[in-house]
Chains A and B, each alone.
Chain A
Amino acid sequence: MNLLEIKNLTKQYGAETLALSDVNFSVKEGEFISVIGPSGAGKSTLLRCINRMIDATSGEVIFDGVNVYDLDKKELRKLRTKIGMIFQHYNLVNRLTVIENVLHGRLGYKSTLAGILGRYSEEEKRQAFEIIEILGLSHQVYKRCDQLSGGQKQRVGIARALIQNPKMLLCDEPIASLDPNVSKVIMDHLKNISTKLGITCLVNLHQVDVAMNYSDRIIGINNGKVVYNGPPNLTPEQIYMIYGSEAGELIMDLGGKNAS
Protein backbone atom coordinates (compact mmCIF):
# COMPACT_ATOMS: atom_id res chain seq x y z
CA MET A 1 0.00 0.00 0.00
CA ASN A 2 1.25 3.46 -0.85
CA LEU A 3 1.86 5.67 2.17
CA LEU A 4 2.88 8.64 0.07
CA GLU A 5 1.96 9.66 -3.44
CA ILE A 6 3.37 12.68 -5.16
CA LYS A 7 1.61 13.84 -8.29
CA ASN A 8 2.73 16.55 -10.71
CA LEU A 9 4.46 18.44 -7.93
CA THR A 10 5.88 21.76 -9.10
CA LYS A 11 7.56 24.50 -7.10
CA GLN A 12 8.56 27.84 -8.52
CA TYR A 13 10.58 30.39 -6.52
CA GLY A 14 9.99 33.91 -7.80
CA ALA A 15 9.72 34.30 -11.55
CA GLU A 16 12.76 32.31 -12.57
CA THR A 17 13.77 29.40 -10.34
CA LEU A 18 11.85 26.25 -11.10
CA ALA A 19 13.02 24.16 -8.14
CA LEU A 20 10.68 21.23 -8.85
CA SER A 21 9.00 20.53 -12.12
CA ASP A 22 6.31 17.90 -12.48
CA VAL A 23 7.61 15.44 -9.90
CA ASN A 24 5.79 12.12 -9.64
CA PHE A 25 6.56 9.12 -7.46
CA SER A 26 5.06 7.01 -4.72
CA VAL A 27 6.41 5.44 -1.56
CA LYS A 28 5.25 2.18 -0.01
CA GLU A 29 4.82 1.78 3.71
CA GLY A 30 8.10 0.78 5.41
CA GLU A 31 10.28 1.61 2.40
CA PHE A 32 13.68 3.23 2.83
CA ILE A 33 14.23 5.63 -0.05
CA SER A 34 17.21 7.86 -0.75
CA VAL A 35 16.86 11.00 -2.81
CA ILE A 36 20.12 11.95 -4.46
CA GLY A 37 21.21 14.65 -6.87
CA PRO A 38 23.60 17.58 -7.19
CA SER A 39 23.24 20.53 -4.83
CA GLY A 40 20.52 22.87 -5.97
CA ALA A 41 18.67 19.98 -7.64
CA GLY A 42 15.62 20.53 -5.45
CA LYS A 43 16.01 17.78 -2.83
CA SER A 44 15.34 20.02 0.19
CA THR A 45 12.47 21.72 -1.57
CA LEU A 46 10.92 18.35 -2.37
CA LEU A 47 11.05 17.18 1.24
CA ARG A 48 9.59 20.43 2.55
CA CYS A 49 6.75 20.41 0.02
CA ILE A 50 5.62 17.09 1.48
CA ASN A 51 4.90 18.44 4.99
CA ARG A 52 4.19 21.91 3.60
CA MET A 53 7.04 23.68 5.33
CA ILE A 54 7.15 25.07 1.81
CA ASP A 55 3.92 25.33 -0.19
CA ALA A 56 4.21 23.83 -3.64
CA THR A 57 3.08 25.91 -6.62
CA SER A 58 0.95 23.10 -8.00
CA GLY A 59 0.45 19.36 -7.74
CA GLU A 60 -0.73 16.95 -5.10
CA VAL A 61 0.77 15.21 -2.11
CA ILE A 62 -1.30 12.32 -0.80
CA PHE A 63 -0.07 11.10 2.58
CA ASP A 64 -1.85 8.20 4.24
CA GLY A 65 -4.87 8.74 2.00
CA VAL A 66 -5.16 12.48 2.66
CA ASN A 67 -4.32 15.27 0.23
CA VAL A 68 -1.96 17.42 2.26
CA TYR A 69 -2.84 20.50 0.25
CA ASP A 70 -6.53 20.27 1.18
CA LEU A 71 -5.85 20.63 4.90
CA ASP A 72 -6.53 23.72 6.97
CA LYS A 73 -4.05 25.00 9.53
CA LYS A 74 -5.22 22.83 12.40
CA GLU A 75 -5.43 19.67 10.32
CA LEU A 76 -1.98 20.38 8.96
CA ARG A 77 -0.57 20.52 12.50
CA LYS A 78 -2.19 17.16 13.17
CA LEU A 79 -0.71 15.71 9.99
CA ARG A 80 2.77 17.01 10.80
CA THR A 81 2.80 15.02 14.04
CA LYS A 82 2.72 11.93 11.83
CA ILE A 83 5.79 13.02 9.85
CA GLY A 84 9.09 13.36 11.69
CA MET A 85 11.79 15.57 10.25
CA ILE A 86 15.57 15.32 10.61
CA PHE A 87 17.88 18.14 9.58
CA GLN A 88 21.46 18.59 8.46
CA HIS A 89 22.13 21.08 11.25
CA TYR A 90 20.05 19.10 13.79
CA ASN A 91 17.88 22.19 14.53
CA LEU A 92 17.83 21.70 18.29
CA VAL A 93 17.24 24.36 20.93
CA ASN A 94 20.89 24.35 21.96
CA ARG A 95 20.43 26.00 25.32
CA LEU A 96 17.95 23.36 26.49
CA THR A 97 18.74 19.86 27.71
CA VAL A 98 18.52 16.66 25.72
CA ILE A 99 15.31 15.55 27.44
CA GLU A 100 13.65 18.94 26.87
CA ASN A 101 14.54 18.79 23.18
CA VAL A 102 13.29 15.25 22.81
CA LEU A 103 9.97 16.13 24.46
CA HIS A 104 9.51 18.95 21.94
CA GLY A 105 8.47 16.16 19.59
CA ARG A 106 5.26 15.87 21.60
CA LEU A 107 4.18 19.51 21.22
CA GLY A 108 1.98 18.78 18.22
CA TYR A 109 -0.17 16.54 20.39
CA LYS A 110 -0.60 18.98 23.25
CA SER A 111 -2.88 21.86 24.05
CA THR A 112 -1.28 25.24 23.45
CA LEU A 113 -1.07 26.03 27.15
CA ALA A 114 0.45 22.69 28.17
CA GLY A 115 2.97 23.14 25.39
CA ILE A 116 3.86 26.69 26.41
CA LEU A 117 4.43 25.57 29.99
CA GLY A 118 6.25 22.43 28.91
CA ARG A 119 4.00 20.12 30.93
CA TYR A 120 4.38 16.56 29.74
CA SER A 121 2.63 13.46 31.06
CA GLU A 122 4.47 10.68 32.89
CA GLU A 123 3.82 8.42 29.92
CA GLU A 124 5.45 10.91 27.57
CA LYS A 125 8.48 11.20 29.82
CA ARG A 126 8.76 7.44 30.13
CA GLN A 127 8.65 7.13 26.36
CA ALA A 128 11.28 9.85 25.99
CA PHE A 129 13.69 8.03 28.30
CA GLU A 130 13.08 4.80 26.44
CA ILE A 131 13.90 6.34 23.07
CA ILE A 132 16.93 8.13 24.50
CA GLU A 133 18.14 4.78 25.79
CA ILE A 134 17.69 3.12 22.40
CA LEU A 135 19.75 5.85 20.77
CA GLY A 136 22.50 5.47 23.37
CA LEU A 137 22.13 8.89 24.96
CA SER A 138 21.33 7.79 28.52
CA HIS A 139 24.38 9.55 29.94
CA GLN A 140 23.47 12.81 28.25
CA VAL A 141 19.84 13.17 29.32
CA TYR A 142 20.32 16.32 31.41
CA LYS A 143 23.18 17.80 29.41
CA ARG A 144 22.60 20.97 27.46
CA CYS A 145 22.64 20.30 23.73
CA ASP A 146 25.41 22.82 23.07
CA GLN A 147 27.71 20.46 24.97
CA LEU A 148 27.09 17.53 22.63
CA SER A 149 29.06 16.31 19.63
CA GLY A 150 27.53 16.45 16.16
CA GLY A 151 26.65 12.79 16.18
CA GLN A 152 24.99 13.08 19.59
CA LYS A 153 23.02 16.11 18.45
CA GLN A 154 21.74 14.22 15.44
CA ARG A 155 20.67 11.36 17.69
CA VAL A 156 18.71 13.87 19.78
CA GLY A 157 17.14 15.03 16.52
CA ILE A 158 16.16 11.47 15.69
CA ALA A 159 14.77 10.93 19.20
CA ARG A 160 12.68 14.08 18.89
CA ALA A 161 11.24 12.78 15.63
CA LEU A 162 10.60 9.28 16.99
CA ILE A 163 8.65 10.44 20.03
CA GLN A 164 6.13 11.92 17.60
CA ASN A 165 5.10 8.33 16.77
CA PRO A 166 5.55 9.14 13.10
CA LYS A 167 4.56 7.03 10.13
CA MET A 168 7.31 8.55 8.05
CA LEU A 169 10.62 10.33 8.55
CA LEU A 170 11.84 13.05 6.21
CA CYS A 171 15.61 13.39 6.56
CA ASP A 172 17.32 16.32 4.85
CA GLU A 173 21.00 15.43 4.50
CA PRO A 174 21.20 13.94 8.01
CA ILE A 175 24.91 13.10 7.72
CA ALA A 176 26.23 15.99 5.64
CA SER A 177 27.91 17.64 8.67
CA LEU A 178 29.29 14.44 10.19
CA ASP A 179 32.46 12.43 9.67
CA PRO A 180 32.23 8.95 8.11
CA ASN A 181 32.31 6.93 11.35
CA VAL A 182 29.57 8.98 12.97
CA SER A 183 27.65 8.99 9.70
CA LYS A 184 27.56 5.21 9.79
CA VAL A 185 26.08 5.23 13.31
CA ILE A 186 23.36 7.65 12.25
CA MET A 187 22.55 5.76 9.04
CA ASP A 188 22.41 2.48 11.00
CA HIS A 189 19.93 4.04 13.41
CA LEU A 190 17.76 5.24 10.52
CA LYS A 191 17.89 1.86 8.85
CA ASN A 192 16.93 0.19 12.13
CA ILE A 193 14.01 2.53 12.55
CA SER A 194 12.82 1.56 9.12
CA THR A 195 13.20 -2.20 9.47
CA LYS A 196 12.36 -2.69 13.16
CA LEU A 197 9.67 -0.07 13.65
CA GLY A 198 8.36 -0.13 10.10
CA ILE A 199 8.65 3.64 9.77
CA THR A 200 9.01 4.81 6.19
CA CYS A 201 12.15 6.85 5.53
CA LEU A 202 12.73 9.40 2.80
CA VAL A 203 16.36 10.52 3.05
CA ASN A 204 18.13 13.23 1.06
CA LEU A 205 21.74 12.25 0.64
CA HIS A 206 24.81 13.65 -0.95
CA GLN A 207 26.87 10.47 -0.81
CA VAL A 208 26.01 8.02 -3.57
CA ASP A 209 27.78 5.09 -1.89
CA VAL A 210 25.78 5.54 1.31
CA ALA A 211 22.55 5.74 -0.68
CA MET A 212 23.41 2.54 -2.53
CA ASN A 213 24.28 0.73 0.72
CA TYR A 214 21.22 1.57 2.75
CA SER A 215 18.28 2.13 0.42
CA ASP A 216 15.51 -0.09 -0.89
CA ARG A 217 15.15 2.35 -3.74
CA ILE A 218 16.87 5.46 -5.05
CA ILE A 219 15.26 8.51 -6.57
CA GLY A 220 17.63 10.70 -8.56
CA ILE A 221 16.80 14.35 -9.07
CA ASN A 222 18.49 16.77 -11.38
CA ASN A 223 17.37 20.31 -11.99
CA GLY A 224 13.99 19.76 -10.36
CA LYS A 225 13.13 16.64 -12.34
CA VAL A 226 13.11 12.99 -11.35
CA VAL A 227 15.69 11.45 -13.66
CA TYR A 228 16.00 8.08 -11.92
CA ASN A 229 13.59 6.01 -9.85
CA GLY A 230 14.64 2.43 -9.30
CA PRO A 231 16.77 -0.13 -7.48
CA PRO A 232 19.76 1.04 -5.43
CA ASN A 233 22.48 -0.64 -7.46
CA LEU A 234 23.36 2.23 -9.77
CA THR A 235 25.67 1.87 -12.74
CA PRO A 236 28.27 4.57 -13.46
CA GLU A 237 26.17 5.68 -16.43
CA GLN A 238 23.16 6.15 -14.17
CA ILE A 239 25.24 8.10 -11.65
CA TYR A 240 26.48 10.32 -14.44
CA MET A 241 22.89 10.77 -15.60
CA ILE A 242 21.86 11.99 -12.12
CA TYR A 243 24.88 14.16 -11.39
CA GLY A 244 25.58 14.94 -15.06
CA SER A 245 25.37 18.70 -15.06
CA GLU A 246 27.35 19.08 -11.82
CA ALA A 247 30.15 16.96 -13.25
CA GLY A 248 29.98 19.11 -16.37
CA GLU A 249 30.18 22.34 -14.34
CA LEU A 250 33.09 20.94 -12.39
CA ILE A 251 34.99 20.33 -15.61
CA MET A 252 34.18 23.84 -16.82
CA ASP A 253 35.37 25.28 -13.49
CA LEU A 254 38.68 23.54 -13.84
CA GLY A 255 38.97 24.76 -17.41
CA GLY A 256 38.18 28.31 -16.32
CA LYS A 257 40.84 28.24 -13.61
CA ASN A 258 43.48 27.00 -16.03
CA ALA A 259 42.65 29.68 -18.54
CA SER A 260 43.05 32.63 -16.15
Chain B
Amino acid sequence: MRVEALVKRRKYSLIFFSILLVFTLASIIVTDFDVTKGFTCIPKAIVWSTKNFYPNADSLEKIPKILTKLKETVFLSVASTTVAAAFATFFALFGSHTTRINGFLSILIRGIASLFRNIPVVAWAMILLFSFGQSSLTGYFALFFVTLGFLTRAFMETIDETSKESVEALKAAGASYFQIIFQAVIPSSLPQMISWMLFMIETNIRSATLVGILTGTGIGFIFNLYYKSFQYNAASLVVVFIVITVFAIEFISNYVRRVIL
Protein backbone atom coordinates (compact mmCIF):
# COMPACT_ATOMS: atom_id res chain seq x y z
CA MET B 1 0.00 0.00 0.00
CA ARG B 2 2.72 2.49 1.00
CA VAL B 3 5.01 1.50 -1.87
CA GLU B 4 2.12 1.98 -4.27
CA ALA B 5 1.54 5.48 -2.95
CA LEU B 6 5.22 6.28 -3.31
CA VAL B 7 5.34 5.06 -6.90
CA LYS B 8 2.19 7.06 -7.64
CA ARG B 9 3.72 10.19 -6.17
CA ARG B 10 6.91 9.73 -8.15
CA LYS B 11 4.83 9.35 -11.30
CA TYR B 12 3.02 12.60 -10.53
CA SER B 13 6.22 14.55 -9.91
CA LEU B 14 7.65 13.18 -13.19
CA ILE B 15 4.59 14.42 -15.06
CA PHE B 16 4.78 17.74 -13.26
CA PHE B 17 8.43 18.34 -14.17
CA SER B 18 7.85 17.32 -17.78
CA ILE B 19 5.07 19.87 -18.06
CA LEU B 20 7.27 22.49 -16.41
CA LEU B 21 10.07 21.77 -18.88
CA VAL B 22 7.73 22.07 -21.84
CA PHE B 23 6.46 25.42 -20.58
CA THR B 24 9.98 26.71 -20.01
CA LEU B 25 11.10 25.75 -23.50
CA ALA B 26 7.94 27.15 -25.04
CA SER B 27 8.36 30.51 -23.31
CA ILE B 28 12.02 30.74 -24.35
CA ILE B 29 10.98 30.22 -27.95
CA VAL B 30 8.00 32.57 -27.82
CA THR B 31 9.91 35.44 -26.22
CA ASP B 32 13.05 34.96 -28.30
CA PHE B 33 15.04 34.76 -25.11
CA ASP B 34 18.74 34.09 -25.70
CA VAL B 35 19.64 31.83 -22.81
CA THR B 36 23.43 31.99 -23.21
CA LYS B 37 23.36 35.75 -23.54
CA GLY B 38 21.12 36.00 -20.50
CA PHE B 39 23.70 34.25 -18.36
CA THR B 40 26.83 35.87 -19.84
CA CYS B 41 25.26 39.28 -19.14
CA ILE B 42 25.35 38.71 -15.37
CA PRO B 43 29.12 39.25 -14.90
CA LYS B 44 28.93 42.36 -17.07
CA ALA B 45 26.10 43.72 -14.99
CA ILE B 46 28.10 43.17 -11.82
CA VAL B 47 31.11 44.94 -13.28
CA TRP B 48 28.95 47.89 -14.33
CA SER B 49 27.36 48.13 -10.89
CA THR B 50 30.67 48.18 -9.05
CA LYS B 51 31.94 50.93 -11.35
CA ASN B 52 28.89 53.18 -11.26
CA PHE B 53 26.34 52.09 -8.75
CA TYR B 54 27.77 53.16 -5.39
CA PRO B 55 27.24 56.23 -3.22
CA ASN B 56 30.03 58.83 -3.46
CA ALA B 57 30.77 62.01 -1.56
CA ASP B 58 28.69 64.20 -3.89
CA SER B 59 25.62 62.08 -3.47
CA LEU B 60 25.74 62.51 0.32
CA GLU B 61 24.40 66.03 -0.16
CA LYS B 62 21.16 64.46 -1.34
CA ILE B 63 20.56 62.76 2.02
CA PRO B 64 18.10 65.35 3.45
CA LYS B 65 16.00 65.18 0.32
CA ILE B 66 16.09 61.38 0.28
CA LEU B 67 15.09 61.28 3.94
CA THR B 68 12.10 63.53 3.34
CA LYS B 69 10.88 61.28 0.57
CA LEU B 70 11.61 58.17 2.58
CA LYS B 71 9.56 59.50 5.46
CA GLU B 72 6.72 60.16 3.03
CA THR B 73 6.83 56.53 1.83
CA VAL B 74 7.02 55.05 5.32
CA PHE B 75 4.13 57.20 6.55
CA LEU B 76 2.10 56.28 3.49
CA SER B 77 2.59 52.56 4.18
CA VAL B 78 1.89 52.82 7.88
CA ALA B 79 -1.19 54.98 7.37
CA SER B 80 -2.69 52.81 4.65
CA THR B 81 -1.98 49.62 6.60
CA THR B 82 -3.43 50.78 9.91
CA VAL B 83 -6.58 52.22 8.38
CA ALA B 84 -7.02 49.09 6.27
CA ALA B 85 -6.51 46.97 9.39
CA ALA B 86 -9.30 48.80 11.19
CA PHE B 87 -11.72 48.16 8.33
CA ALA B 88 -10.45 44.60 7.91
CA THR B 89 -11.25 43.84 11.55
CA PHE B 90 -14.92 44.65 10.99
CA PHE B 91 -15.08 42.79 7.71
CA ALA B 92 -13.33 39.77 9.22
CA LEU B 93 -15.79 39.61 12.13
CA PHE B 94 -18.73 39.49 9.74
CA GLY B 95 -16.93 37.21 7.29
CA SER B 96 -15.46 34.55 9.57
CA HIS B 97 -17.35 31.31 10.11
CA THR B 98 -17.05 31.70 13.87
CA THR B 99 -18.40 35.23 14.29
CA ARG B 100 -20.52 35.91 11.22
CA ILE B 101 -24.04 37.13 11.77
CA ASN B 102 -25.35 36.33 8.31
CA GLY B 103 -24.32 33.65 5.84
CA PHE B 104 -24.83 35.75 2.71
CA LEU B 105 -22.87 38.70 4.11
CA SER B 106 -20.03 36.34 4.99
CA ILE B 107 -19.83 34.95 1.45
CA LEU B 108 -19.97 38.46 0.01
CA ILE B 109 -17.12 39.67 2.22
CA ARG B 110 -15.01 36.63 1.45
CA GLY B 111 -15.51 37.17 -2.27
CA ILE B 112 -14.66 40.86 -2.19
CA ALA B 113 -11.62 40.28 0.03
CA SER B 114 -10.26 37.64 -2.34
CA LEU B 115 -10.82 39.89 -5.33
CA PHE B 116 -9.09 42.87 -3.69
CA ARG B 117 -6.17 40.78 -2.56
CA ASN B 118 -5.63 39.12 -5.90
CA ILE B 119 -5.42 42.33 -7.91
CA PRO B 120 -1.72 43.26 -7.75
CA VAL B 121 -0.87 46.54 -6.12
CA VAL B 122 0.58 47.91 -9.36
CA ALA B 123 -2.67 47.16 -11.16
CA TRP B 124 -4.56 49.00 -8.42
CA ALA B 125 -2.23 51.95 -8.84
CA MET B 126 -2.83 52.05 -12.57
CA ILE B 127 -6.60 51.84 -12.13
CA LEU B 128 -6.52 54.58 -9.50
CA LEU B 129 -4.25 56.80 -11.61
CA PHE B 130 -7.34 57.56 -13.67
CA SER B 131 -9.24 58.91 -10.68
CA PHE B 132 -6.55 60.59 -8.63
CA GLY B 133 -3.77 61.20 -11.13
CA GLN B 134 -0.14 61.22 -10.06
CA SER B 135 -0.54 61.91 -6.36
CA SER B 136 0.12 60.21 -3.05
CA LEU B 137 -3.60 59.57 -2.82
CA THR B 138 -3.28 57.07 -5.67
CA GLY B 139 -0.53 55.21 -3.85
CA TYR B 140 -2.43 55.40 -0.59
CA PHE B 141 -5.57 53.84 -2.00
CA ALA B 142 -3.68 51.23 -4.03
CA LEU B 143 -1.98 50.00 -0.86
CA PHE B 144 -5.18 50.39 1.12
CA PHE B 145 -7.26 48.13 -1.13
CA VAL B 146 -4.72 45.34 -1.42
CA THR B 147 -4.06 45.46 2.33
CA LEU B 148 -7.78 45.48 3.08
CA GLY B 149 -8.23 42.34 1.00
CA PHE B 150 -5.21 40.60 2.44
CA LEU B 151 -5.84 41.47 6.08
CA THR B 152 -9.53 40.61 5.89
CA ARG B 153 -8.62 37.10 4.75
CA ALA B 154 -5.81 36.79 7.28
CA PHE B 155 -7.94 38.08 10.16
CA MET B 156 -10.81 35.74 9.25
CA GLU B 157 -8.49 32.76 9.31
CA THR B 158 -6.96 33.93 12.58
CA ILE B 159 -10.38 34.26 14.19
CA ASP B 160 -11.52 30.84 13.01
CA GLU B 161 -8.25 29.24 14.04
CA THR B 162 -7.79 30.76 17.48
CA SER B 163 -11.25 31.33 18.87
CA LYS B 164 -13.69 28.85 17.35
CA GLU B 165 -13.73 26.61 20.40
CA SER B 166 -13.91 29.26 23.09
CA VAL B 167 -16.66 31.04 21.18
CA GLU B 168 -18.67 27.82 21.29
CA ALA B 169 -18.15 27.58 25.04
CA LEU B 170 -19.22 31.16 25.75
CA LYS B 171 -22.23 30.85 23.49
CA ALA B 172 -23.25 27.70 25.37
CA ALA B 173 -22.94 29.63 28.64
CA GLY B 174 -25.46 32.19 27.39
CA ALA B 175 -23.05 35.02 26.54
CA SER B 176 -24.23 37.58 23.99
CA TYR B 177 -22.56 38.35 20.66
CA PHE B 178 -20.58 41.37 21.79
CA GLN B 179 -19.58 39.74 25.06
CA ILE B 180 -18.18 36.85 23.04
CA ILE B 181 -16.30 39.20 20.71
CA PHE B 182 -14.66 41.11 23.55
CA GLN B 183 -14.12 38.25 26.00
CA ALA B 184 -13.06 35.45 23.64
CA VAL B 185 -12.38 36.54 20.06
CA ILE B 186 -10.27 39.64 20.70
CA PRO B 187 -8.10 38.21 23.49
CA SER B 188 -7.41 35.09 21.42
CA SER B 189 -6.72 36.65 18.07
CA LEU B 190 -5.38 40.15 18.72
CA PRO B 191 -1.68 39.22 18.95
CA GLN B 192 -1.78 37.29 15.70
CA MET B 193 -3.75 40.09 14.05
CA ILE B 194 -1.13 42.63 15.09
CA SER B 195 1.52 40.32 13.75
CA TRP B 196 -0.24 40.23 10.36
CA MET B 197 -0.52 44.01 10.42
CA LEU B 198 3.21 44.39 11.00
CA PHE B 199 3.86 41.98 8.17
CA MET B 200 1.71 44.15 5.90
CA ILE B 201 3.56 47.31 6.93
CA GLU B 202 6.82 45.67 5.87
CA THR B 203 5.33 44.49 2.62
CA ASN B 204 3.76 47.86 1.95
CA ILE B 205 7.03 49.75 2.35
CA ARG B 206 8.45 47.61 -0.43
CA SER B 207 5.30 48.03 -2.54
CA ALA B 208 5.11 51.75 -1.84
CA THR B 209 8.57 52.17 -3.34
CA LEU B 210 7.43 50.49 -6.51
CA VAL B 211 4.09 52.27 -6.63
CA GLY B 212 5.91 55.57 -6.07
CA ILE B 213 7.64 55.17 -9.43
CA LEU B 214 4.22 54.99 -11.07
CA THR B 215 2.56 57.74 -9.10
CA GLY B 216 5.55 60.04 -8.93
CA THR B 217 5.67 60.20 -5.16
CA GLY B 218 7.91 59.16 -2.31
CA ILE B 219 11.16 57.31 -2.42
CA GLY B 220 10.27 55.46 -5.62
CA PHE B 221 9.91 58.76 -7.46
CA ILE B 222 13.24 60.10 -6.31
CA PHE B 223 15.01 56.86 -7.24
CA ASN B 224 13.47 56.99 -10.68
CA LEU B 225 14.45 60.65 -11.01
CA TYR B 226 18.13 60.08 -10.18
CA TYR B 227 18.30 56.90 -12.21
CA LYS B 228 16.83 58.44 -15.35
CA SER B 229 19.10 61.47 -15.05
CA PHE B 230 22.19 59.22 -14.87
CA GLN B 231 22.91 60.17 -11.22
CA TYR B 232 23.72 56.58 -10.43
CA ASN B 233 25.58 57.41 -7.22
CA ALA B 234 22.55 59.17 -5.78
CA ALA B 235 20.25 56.40 -6.98
CA SER B 236 22.40 53.82 -5.25
CA LEU B 237 22.22 55.83 -2.06
CA VAL B 238 18.44 55.67 -2.30
CA VAL B 239 18.68 51.90 -2.53
CA VAL B 240 20.89 51.81 0.54
CA PHE B 241 18.31 53.81 2.48
CA ILE B 242 15.47 51.58 1.32
CA VAL B 243 17.34 48.48 2.45
CA ILE B 244 18.16 50.02 5.83
CA THR B 245 14.52 51.04 6.31
CA VAL B 246 13.20 47.60 5.42
CA PHE B 247 15.63 45.98 7.84
CA ALA B 248 14.79 48.47 10.57
CA ILE B 249 11.05 47.90 10.18
CA GLU B 250 11.57 44.17 10.19
CA PHE B 251 13.67 44.43 13.33
CA ILE B 252 11.04 46.51 15.08
CA SER B 253 8.19 44.24 14.12
CA ASN B 254 10.09 41.12 15.16
CA TYR B 255 10.68 42.76 18.50
CA VAL B 256 7.00 43.66 18.91
CA ARG B 257 6.03 40.13 17.91
CA ARG B 258 8.30 38.63 20.55
CA VAL B 259 6.72 40.80 23.19
CA ILE B 260 3.07 40.19 22.31
CA LEU B 261 3.04 36.55 21.26
- Report A's interface with B, CB cutoff 8 A: 51, 53, 77-81, 83-85, 87, 89-96, 104-105, 107-110, 112, 115-118, 157, 160-161, 164, 170, 257, 260
Contacts and interface: CB of A to CB of B under 8 A. Distances in A.
5 contacts: A81-B173, A93-B184, A160-B169, A160-B173, A170-B172
Contacts of A107: 170, 173-176, 179, 183
Given A91-B166, A95-B191, A81 B183 contact: no
Contacts of B174: 77-81, 107-109, 164
A110 B179 contact: yes
B173 A91 contact: no
Contacts of A96: 187
A161 B178 CA distance: 20
B172 A51 contact: yes
A164 to B, nearest CB: 6
B178 A112 contact: yes
Contacts of A112: 176, 178-179
Contact of B179 (A92, A115, A170): A115
User: Across chains A and B, which 3 residue pairs bring their CB atoms closest together, nearest first?
Assistant: A108-B174, A115-B179, A107-B175
Choose among B171, B175, B181 the residue with the greatest number of A CB atoms under 10 Å from its CB: B175
A105 B173 contact: yes
Interface residues of B, number: 22
A136 B219 CA distance: 61
Given A87-B165, A110-B179, A53 B173 contact: no
B182 interface: yes
A8 to B, nearest CB: 24
B189 to A, nearest CB: 9
A161 B184 CA distance: 16
Nearest to A86: B169
Contacts of A108: 173-175
Interface in B171-213: 171-176, 178-179, 181-184, 187-188, 191
Contacts of B172: 51, 53, 80, 83, 85, 170
Contact of B173 (A84, A93, A94): A84
Contacts of A161: 173
B1 interface: yes
B168 interface: yes
A257 B175 CA distance: 49
A93 B182 contact: no
Contacts of B184: 93, 104
Interface of B: 1, 163, 165-166, 168-176, 178-179, 181-184, 187-188, 191
Contacts of B183: 93, 104, 107, 115-116, 118
A257 B165 CA distance: 36
A80 B172 CA distance: 6
Contacts of B191: 95
Given A93-B183, A95-B191, A107-B170, A115 B165 contact: no
Count chain B CB atoms within 10 A of each CB in A77, A93, A94, A116 and give the residue with the most. A93
B188 A95 contact: yes
A104 B188 CA distance: 14
A80 B174 CA distance: 5
A116 B179 contact: yes
A164 B179 CA distance: 16
Contacts of B163: 93
B188 to A, nearest CB: 6
A229 B80 CA distance: 62
B169 A85 contact: yes
A92 B184 CA distance: 9
A91 B187 contact: no
A40 to B, nearest CB: 19
Nearest to B176: A112
B239 to A, nearest CB: 41
A97 B143 CA distance: 38
A104 B170 contact: yes
B108 to A, nearest CB: 23
A84 B168 CA distance: 12
Nearest to A115: B179
A85 B171 CA distance: 10
Contact of A164 (B173, B181, B188): B173
A198 B83 CA distance: 53
Given A104-B169, A116-B179, A260-B1, 11 more contacts: A53-B171, A80-B171, A85-B172, A93-B166, A93-B183, A104-B183, A107-B174, A110-B179, A112-B176, A115-B178, A257-B1
